[in-house]
Structure formats: C-alpha cells, structure tokens
Amino acid sequence: MKDWQIIPEIVGCNAVLRMAALQAVDAVEHGRHFVVEGEPGTGRRLLARSVWCRRSPGTRALFTLDCRMFGSEGTESLLFGERSSKGKNTTIQLGKLNLSSGGGLLLLHAESLHLKAQGRLAQALDRALFCPSSGGVQLMMTCTPSLNAQPLLHPELAEMLMRIRVPALRERVEDIRQIAETFLRNEAPFERIRCSQALIDSFCGYEWPGNVTELRAVLRRLLLEPHNGLLDARHLAELMCRDETCFSRFQGSTRPGAQDLSSLIPYDFSSESRSMQ
C-alpha cells in the first residue's frame, strides 16, 4: 500500500489528489491548522474527516460546524458561545471553539463566515490556550475559492492556514472509472455491475459541475434501469429521454462553453449495441 492510500475513502490516482491527501495527513500529524479548498462535491469534507479519524487518537473529539446553516450572528454565537442574563440569573453557553479544546474543529463552507468573525477566530487561535501544540484546538476548514481563485478569508486567519487544494472531477478524468466502480460496489454489494467503455467515454467528455456528487447521483439513477450487470450509454440516453430535467440541478451550473451531458450520449441505440458486441 502506498503512503497516500492510507486514506481508503479517497479514490483515485490523480497526482494533485495524492498530494492533497499527503498534505492533510502531515497537517493533522503535526497539529497544523489547514483549509481544504475546492469546488462543491469534490470531497473536501471527506478528506478532512478521514485524515482526522485515521491519524488522531480516539480521545480527541472532532466538532463540526456548517457555516451556511445559520445566520452570521447565529454562527458566531455557536462558534464563540454567548452569555445571557435573565434577572439575577446568568447563563453561559460554551461555543464550539471552547468545546473543541484538546481536539479538532471542522468549519464547513468557511467562506460563509463573515470577516469579522474570522478575525476574532484568528485572534483566539493565536492565544496559547488555543494552540494545538499546547493541547488546544486544531482548526480544519473547507472553502470554495472565489472567481479569482482566492478563498474569501480574513488575512490574519489565512496566514495561519496550510492551503490544500482538492481538484475538480474534470481535472482527474483518469479516476472516473475507478470512482464509478467503487461507488457501484458499495451501492450494490451483492451484484457485479460494470460500466461500459462508451459510458465512461461520455462521462470523461462532460464538465461535471457537481463533481463527484453529481457523478454518484447519475449512477444512482442508472442503477434503477434494467441493466443486466452492465451500465451503458444507452441506459443514460433512455433515462434522459424520459426525464430531461433529471440532472438539471447540476447542469444549470455548467461553465460557459462546457458541453451538456446529453450532447455526449449516442442516441443510435442499434449502432451502440453493435459496438458492444
């Protein structure tokens, strides 16, 4: 087993992906704060959680906070805690940062956390109490780069973070077959289901704006088709003929100039069948 394959949840042999896995493992081992950058659906959360579970002792808990789920004030209260008074009674609610002491804190979609809260977080991490080397908090983040390829992070916080980039699926087309077959084995463990070369070729020519999440959604729909153990481009064509909007949630975000998935599918079923014989 190669060094980067100590994370079995990460599927593929792409060089950029291998480097991201090794960097994440090294960061967790040495208690460094880091941010995993990449497009939605590329497996940023999976990478962060996997390296933590593989490399950290079981006593070190990992707390997770999705910065999209609450408003700016709600997220800040959950992160730093809050104090409320009612008459003579004062209630103190600990935040995720306090609860994570001695363990890890994973902030998902950190670009949704406003800059003021990010600056406050940087100041907290800079104190000895929250330093990983002294048994404090190790911060892990996932972030979607903006249009200029830079994450929307506070400068003081960005200086503390090791940047780890996870490639988009269109940058690692050599992994598409392995990702698809791994998913099929997990989704249907009692069947041997394969993908035809024609279907893989169609997948490799598509932009995948939803990345691995979109690929899994497509395969999940194809599994509902009568396939006799072989998923083919014909099954995808038939599915999209019946339901043209079945993947519109992803195709609506395709980059300008990118090909639509339906344009890559052969509709001459007879010739497609002959090519498979």
The pTM assigned to this predicted structure is 0.81
Q: Contact, 209 vs 250, CB < 8 A?
A: yes
3-state SS, residue 193: coil
Name the percent of the chain lying above pLDDT 70: 77
A 10 A CB-CB count for 6 gives 15
Superfamily of domain 3-70+99-167: P-loop containing nucleotide triphosphate hydrolases (3.40.50.300)
Report d(CA 154, CA 157) in Å as an integer.
5
Task: Report strand pairing: 82-86 vs 89-93.
Answer: antiparallel
Q: How far is C-alpha 158 from the chain's CA centre?
A: 20
Structural contact between residues 24 and 61, judged by C-beta atoms closer than 8 angstroms: no
Q: Can you tell me the distance from the alpha carbon of 51 to that of 25, in angstroms, rounded to the nearest whole number?
A: 6
Contacts (Cβ under 8 Å, ≥6 apart) of 48: 24, 36, 106, 140, 142
Task: Calculate what percentage of the chain has a pLDDT beyond 90.
Answer: 36
- At 276, the pLDDT band (50, 70, 90 cuts) reads very low
Count of Cβ atoms closer than 10 Å to residue 206 Cβ: 26
Q: Is the confidence at residue 35, as pLDDT, over 90?
A: yes
CA distance 22 to 4: 6
Give the pLDDT of residue 194. 92
Output the average pLDDT for the chain. Answer: 80
Whether 25 shows a pLDDT value over 70: the answer reads: yes
Q: Where are the domains of the chain?
A: 3-70+99-167, 170-270
- Note whether 271 and 237 are within 8 A (CB): no
Q: Is 211 left (phi over 0), alpha (psi -120 to 50) or beta?
A: left
Which numeric CATH code is attached to 170-270? 1.10.8.60
Contacts of 237 (CB under 8 A, 6+ apart): 265, 266, 267, 269
Q: How far is CA 79 from CA 25, 179, 198, 220, in A?
A: 25, 35, 49, 36
Region of 104 please: left (phi>0), alpha (psi -120 to 50) or beta. Answer: beta
Q: What is the pLDDT of residues 166-213, one digit of tens each?
A: 999 999 999 999 999 999 999 888 889 999 999 999 899 888 989 999
**What pLDDT was estimated at residue 45?**
95
